[in-house]
Amino acid sequence: MTAPRRLLLVNGPNLNLLGTREPAVYGTATLADVEAITRDAAQQRGFEVRAVQSNHEGVLIDAIHDARDDCAGIVINPGGLTHTSVVLRDALSGVGLPVAEVHISDVRAREPFRHHSYVADVALVHVVGEGVAGYAAAVARLVDVITGQADG
């Protein structure tokens, strides 16, 4: 059986407001732009993308669980759940898929409460502070891990 050639793109709470929410921090690209950037980067590497965004933690966890069936990896920007959600971390760990964690802003240079990520220890790829272009970088690095071209 061949491995699936699909990635799950997960965007957490408030990322639906991209383009209008704090443009000085997050830029003016919209969630639709992020999804297009991610799909284009994946397509260039022979992968497709299923995208989900929700302001509800359980919806994100269900999508992560469902990814076990037909995805080769997960690209996630957990938003504020990065710093608060053990259950999101456990869902990512539990499905056993390689994970890329993305943050548009440099969370390490922001408020101290943003410095800790519950996702960091389960993610093989970390892209922080590269703006929305970071999604394409995360896809490239994650696909390299999935295809054995880089260590995870």
61 annotated to bind ligand: no
Query: Was 114 annotated as part of a binding site?
Result: yes
The answer to whether 105 and 25 have CB atoms below 8 angstroms apart is: yes
DSSP annotation of 2 reads P
- Say whether 104 counts as a known binding-site residue: yes
Q: Locate tokens 């994970």: which residue?
A: 99
Q: Is the dihedral of CA 13, 17, 23, 29 positive or negative?
A: positive
Beta bridge partners of 125: 100
Q: Is 77 annotated as a binding residue?
A: yes
Which one of the listed residues 103, 115, 126, 135 is annotated catalytic?
A: 103
26 assigned to active site: yes
Whole-number Å distance between alpha carbons of 134 and 117 = 17
CA-wise closest residue to 5 among 99, 82, 70, 66: 70
Measured CA distances, 131 to 13, 71, 93, 147 (Å): 17, 25, 26, 25
Coil, helix or strand at residue 80: helix
Catalytic residue among 26, 115, 118, 126: 26
65 is catalytic: no
Binding-site residues for substrate: 77, 83, 90, 104-105, 114
Q: Which residues are catalytic?
A: 26, 103
Binding-site residues: 77, 83, 90, 104-105, 114
